């Protein structure tokens, strides 16, 4: 982007990041100097690799280069995509899957959980029962076979496994020619004995019949409590993720043929990357919005920022995530296509508030209503060809002078301001009996306060205040709305990278190469900590197991496991609670010491961890809520293994004067603020130099985004080409 005019450079690629969306495939390439370029091409569904090569070609075109000449030194090749997720959302996955569950639980998938009916709805939708609906099932009921037997919640066998039930179930499933057999038995997260027995019998029968299909156990795949999310994860893996494996391998092959030496890595929902050869691909199902979070963490590290909130305004949603004390929190309860899951995901919350969101007037309540639907890439009524008939946020921004009708996507989509104005007049201003501009500004105010509430709620929910945080804004709509949704929150700093529109793809390239594994442990530490020595040794040995498992994953993809850095953490709660928090451990070997005074083993290391948990708990939930007198319950041991990979560098530019060059000026335009029109300076983003300051009211335009600076605000472009916004 910034360097696209310098054709004489070599542009040897170091990093290729790919983001395959439903319609477009984006590529983000970085050369040896840190210069970058963005390419776009149509996504090719059946053979993703074609779209990917086209997209890389497009990005190299801007430098007049070919992949064959520039790709030989690539050190990082990262992929994120929506193919798996779309396969799930559109119910186009592989449903030829056999499932073995406890007898009497053949309806487990069909019953699901009622919360899956409303989990994705807004406040009104949650109240309005007629909107509630179960997600359509993935696997037909006939593919579920029950076997008698039960393990209880502390892991003892209550009822022995009935082998003849297993034999019958396996026979029937093989008869049906299923592609694999998933096994999910109750309480297998505590004791996997019955699941392993099912596997043994199944393999035996297959051997006899000369058939071979994979048998996947829930106790191996995702050994955590909650049979519904555990089964969901198991099924979605086979239904939607596994079918992508071939595609991913093909992409890796194609790029290798073009001379790219770096192995392909896929971004995961917990922020690391993994190989297409790894055992489970489900962590890669959601990666799009994660890229932005990783990029944010990367920026936070480069700038030495402890607490950063990242905000991504896209066409349909507003995503918020936090980096807190240099650490990106993960959450456990997540949902995918309406199904709840127990897989770790970066704590990222979304609300439907994107630039394409519809704005309506409700004549009963006399109020404006927003969304939840969005015009998405159709933009709004200002896009005459789109057929959109309902006013969107973009229409509002356009008539207020914030957007340049002739420069949307660099002028590729001409916007009709008159049309937007007349629709806003008819649909919103007339029923409100107000002026259309005041109405449009009011509508944006309401949406922006919603965004602000969301942002603030997330920060406060973790026990902080905006004063502790720096705000990073990106996404195509971020720079347009950041002044609005940050108004009244006193952030330490507000940062807007020049490459805001492609920030998610950039973020992919910043991801670690890592695997995260976890296991339910259910260890109890009583209030006087008599068990802490035992807990220390159990945790140390569990972490050791996790470490071995993760090393195997790296080994499988040809990495040297000795390069791996292991990060131990654990999830715990006060005894009796149901919701846990994750705390990092300072060491993966917790020492236990004999205390002669107490005549038992104590562990100062466990004490350190418990102190961290107490502090975190109090920080989040505040006054009087700590309950150490109840003791602690360690629910899960978590291990993350990381091997070093090259990351993008942040190029540094010389600072020039505060006053921008004349060549970056595009004249003036009227913009609407606080009930009146203001003459505002207009700038070309690419032509501004590091060190320049632009005072509001102003609009800084780029093909893919627009930075709006209200009156009494100003922005300064720093040496890394990140804008810093200040205002009242």
Partner 1 sequence: MESKNIGWNGKSLKSMLEESEKLLEDKKSYYGIEHLSLKEENPFRYERAYASLRGALVSARETALHVAASPIVTEIGELCFGLYTPEGDSIAVSTGILVHIHTMSEGIKFMIREGYEENPTINQGDIFLNNDPQCGNVHTTDVQTLIPIFWEEELIGWAGGVTHQIDIGGITPGHTLVSSIQRFDDGAYYTCLKIGSNDKIWRDHMISAKKAVRSPMYWELDEKCRLAGNLMIRDAVFEFIEREGIEYYKKFIREAIEEGRQILQKRVKERLIPGRYRASSFMDLPMKHQAWVPLAKENRISNHPLEIIVKEDGKFSVSFDGASAGGANAFNCDKGAMEGGQWVLLTQVLIYGDKVNDGAYYAVEKNYPLGSWANPGDPYLSYQAPWGNLIPAYTAMMKCLSYGLFARGFREEVVPGYGFTGDSIQGGGIFNAGPLKGERWMLSTFEISGQGLGASAVRDGLNWGYAMWNPESDLGDVETWELFQGGIPYLSRKVKPNVAGFGKYRGGGNYGSVAFIANSEKVEFFAGREGLVFHGSGGMHGGYPNSTSYRLQATNTNLAEIFQNKQDYPISDDDTRNGEFERFLEGDIERKPYGTIYPISLHNYDIIHFSESGGPGYGDPLERKLESIKQDLDDGLYTPETVNNVFGVVAKYEKTTKEWEIDVEESTKHREEIKKEREEKSMNFEEFWKYERKKITEGELSEHVNRMYSESLKLSKTWSKEFKEFWKFPEDFQMGGD
Tokens of 683: 């700038």
Terminus-to-terminus CA distance in the chain, angstroms? 31
- Work out which of 28, 36, 63, 189 binds partner 1, going by CB under 8 A: 189
Distance (Å, whole) CA 118 – CA 430: 35
Query: Smallest Cα–Cα separation from 370: which of 384, 356, 380?
Result: 356
Q: Is residue 442 at the binding interface for partner 1, with CB under 8 A as the rule?
A: yes
Smallest separation (angstroms) from partner 1 to the CB of 609 = 19
Q: Closer to partner 1 at the Cβ: 229 or 478?
A: 229
Judged by beta carbon, residue 19 or residue 197, the one nearer partner 1 is 197
- Residues 210-229 contacting partner 1, CB under 8 A: 225-229
Asked if 627 is part of the footprint of partner 1 (rule: CB under 8 A), the reply reads yes
Site string for partner 1, 397-436 (x = CB under 8 A): -----------------------------------x----
Does residue 141 touch partner 1 according to CB under 8 A? Answer: yes
CB of 728 to partner 1, least distance (A): 14
**Tokens 């051997």, residue located:** 207
**Least distance CB 126 / partner 1 (angstroms):** 5
Using CB under 8 A as the binding rule, whether residue 369 contacts partner 1 is answered as: yes
Backbone φ and ψ for 365, nearest 5 degrees, come out as -85, -10
Query: Binding residue for partner 1 (CB under 8 A) from 362, 541, 560, 587?
Result: 362
Phi, psi angle pair for 228, to nearest 5°: -70, -55
Residue whose token pair is 């920030």: 503
Count of residues engaged in binding partner 1, rule: CB under 8 A: 85
Q: How far is CA 473 from CA 308, 396, 418, 482, 680, in A?
A: 10, 20, 30, 7, 22
String of DSSP letters for 156-199: -EEE---HHHHHHHHHHHHHTT-SEEEE--TTTTT--HHHHHHH
CB of 145 to partner 1, least distance (A): 12
Beta-carbon contacts of residue 408 (< 8 Å; ≥ 6 apart): 379, 414, 415
| One of 129, 208, 562, 596 touching partner 1 (CB under 8 A) | 129
Helix (H) or strand (E) holding 534: helix 532-556
Between 270 and 361, whose beta carbon lies closer to partner 1?
A: 361
Options 69, 90, 107, 389; binder of partner 1; rule CB under 8 A = 107
619 in contact with partner 1 (CB under 8 A):
no
CA–CA gap between residue 541 and residue 637 (Å, rounded) = 10
At which residue do the structure tokens 């040897």 appear?
12
Determine if 66 is a binding residue for partner 1 (CB under 8 A): no
Distance from C-alpha of 201 to C-alpha of 189, rounded to nearest angstrom? 20
Among 366, 387, 558, 667, binds partner 1 (CB under 8 A): 366
The whole-angstrom separation of Cα 249 and Cα 690 is 42
- Positions 154 through 173 that interact with partner 1 (CB under 8 A): 154, 156, 158-160, 162-164
The residue from 6, 204, 385, 460 that contacts partner 1 (CB under 8 A) is: 460
* Near partner 1 in 548-607, by CB under 8 A: 574-579, 581
Rounded Cα–Cα distance for residues 370 and 353 (Å) = 8
Minimum distance from CB of 606 to partner 1 (Å)? Answer: 20
* Residues paired with 38 in a beta bridge: 28
> Using CB under 8 A, which of the segments 239-247, 292-300, 439-447, 537-545 binds partner 1?
439-447
State which of residues 210, 212, 623, 662 lies at the interface with partner 1 (CB under 8 A). 623
Nearest to 542 by CA among 581, 601, 585: 585
Residue that is written with structure tokens 């660099």 in the block = 410
* Residue 132 lies near partner 1 (rule: CB under 8 A): yes
Among 148, 258, 360, 549, binds partner 1 (CB under 8 A): 148
DSSP state, residue 408: G
Q: Return the residue of 488, 490, 558, 596 that touches partner 1, per CB under 8 A.
A: 488
Using the contact rule CB under 8 A, the part of the chain among 24-32, 35-43, 274-282, 625-633 near partner 1 is 625-633
By beta-carbon proximity to partner 1, the closer residue of 377 and 621 is 621
Q: Could you say which of 6, 42, 72, 104 contacts partner 1 (CB under 8 A)?
A: 104
- The whole-angstrom separation of Cα 216 and Cα 179 is 11
Contact between 375 and 386 (Cβ < 8 Å): yes
**The only residue of 130, 136, 490, 562 in contact with partner 1, by rule CB under 8 A:** 130
């Amino acid at each position: 982007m910034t360097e696209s005019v310098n054709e004489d450079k070599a542009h040897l690629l170091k990093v290729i990041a790919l983001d395959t969306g439903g319609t477009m495939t984006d590529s983000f390439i970085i050369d040896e100097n840190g210069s970058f370029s963005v390419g776009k091409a149509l996504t090719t569904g059946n053979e993703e690799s074609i779209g990917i090569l086209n997209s890389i070609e497009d990005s190299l075109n801007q430098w007049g280069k070919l992949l064959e000449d520039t790709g030989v030194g690539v050190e990082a090749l990262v992929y994120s995509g929506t193919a798996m997720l779309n396969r799930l959302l559109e119910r186009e996955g592989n449903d030829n899957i056999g499932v073995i569950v406890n007898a009497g639980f053949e309806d487990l998938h069909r019953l699901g959980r009622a919360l899956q009916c409303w989990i994705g709805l807004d406040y009104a939708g949650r109240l309005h029962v007629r909107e509630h609906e179960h997600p359509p099932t993935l696997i037909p009921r006939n593919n579920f076979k029950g076997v008698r037997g039960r393990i209880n919640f502390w892991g003892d066998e209550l009822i022995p496994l009935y082998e003849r039930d297993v034999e019958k179930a396996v026979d029937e499933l093989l008869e049906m020619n299923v592609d694999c057999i998933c096994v999910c038995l109750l309480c297998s997260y505590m004791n996997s004995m019955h699941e392993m027995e099912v596997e043994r019998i199944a393999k035996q029968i297959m051997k006899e019949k000369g058939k071979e299909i994979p048998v996947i156990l829930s106790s191996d795949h995702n050994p955590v409590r909650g049979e519904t999310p555990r089964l969901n994860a198991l099924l979605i893996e086979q239904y939607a993720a596994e079918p992508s494996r071939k595609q991913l391998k093909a992409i890796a092959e194609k790029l290798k043929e073009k001379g790219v030496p770096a192995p392909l890595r896929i971004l995961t929902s917990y922020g690391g990357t993994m190989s297409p050869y790894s055992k489970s691909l489900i962590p890669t199902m959601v990666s799009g919005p994660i890229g932005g979070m990783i990029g944010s963490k990367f920026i936070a590290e480069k700038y030495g920022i402890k607490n950063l909130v990242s905000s991504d305004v896209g066409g349909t949603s507003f995503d918020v995530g936090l980096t807190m004390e240099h650490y990106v929190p993960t959450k456990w309860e997540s949902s995918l296509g309406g199904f709840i899951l127990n897989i770790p995901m970066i704590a990222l919350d979304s609300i439907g508030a994107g630039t394409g969101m519809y704005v309506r007037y409700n004549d009963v309540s006399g109020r404006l209503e927003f969304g939840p639907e969005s015009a998405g890439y159709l933009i709004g009524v200002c896009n005459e060809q789109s057929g959109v008939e309902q006013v969107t946020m973009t229409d509002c921004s356009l008539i207020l002078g914030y957007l340049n009708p002739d420069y949307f996507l660099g002028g590729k989509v001409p916007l009709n301001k008159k049309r937007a104005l007349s629709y806003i007049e008819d649909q919103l201003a007339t029923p409100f009996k107000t002026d259309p501009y005041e109405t449009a500004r009011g509508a944006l105010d309401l949406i922006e306060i919603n965004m602000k509430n969301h942002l603030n709620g997330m920060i406060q929910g973790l026990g902080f205040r905006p004063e502790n945080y720096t705000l990073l804004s990106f996404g195509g709509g971020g720079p347009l709305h950041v002044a609005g949704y940050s108004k009244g929150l006193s952030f330490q700093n507000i940062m807007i990278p020049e490459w805001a529109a492609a920030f998610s793809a950039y973020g992919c390239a910043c991801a670690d190469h890592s695997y995260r594994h976890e296991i339910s442990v259910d260890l109890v530490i009583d209030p006087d900590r008599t068990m802490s020595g035992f807990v220390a040794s159990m945790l140390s040995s569990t972490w050791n197991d996790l470490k071995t498992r993760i090393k195997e994953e790296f080994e499988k993809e040809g990495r040297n496991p000795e390069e791996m850095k292991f990060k131990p953490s654990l999830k715990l709660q006060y005894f009796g609670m149901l919701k846990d928090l994750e705390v990092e451990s300072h060491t993966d070997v917790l020492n236990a010491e004999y205390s002669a005074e107490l005549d038992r083993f104590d562990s100062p290391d466990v004490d350190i961890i418990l102190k961290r948990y107490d502090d975190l708990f109090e920080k989040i939930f505040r006054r009087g809520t700590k309950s150490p007198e109840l003791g602690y319950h360690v629910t899960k041991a978590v291990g993350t293994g990381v091997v070093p990979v090259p990351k993008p560098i942040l190029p540094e530019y010389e600072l020039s004067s505060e006053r921008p060059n004349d060549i970056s000026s595009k004249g003036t335009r009227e913009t609407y603020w606080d009930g009146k029109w203001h003459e505002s300076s207009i700038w070309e983003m690419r032509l501004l130099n590091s060190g320049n300051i632009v005072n509001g009211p102003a609009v800084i335009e780029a093909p893919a985004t627009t930075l709006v600076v209200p009156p009494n605000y100003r922005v300064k472009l720093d040496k890394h080409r990140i804008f810093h916004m200040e205002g009242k």
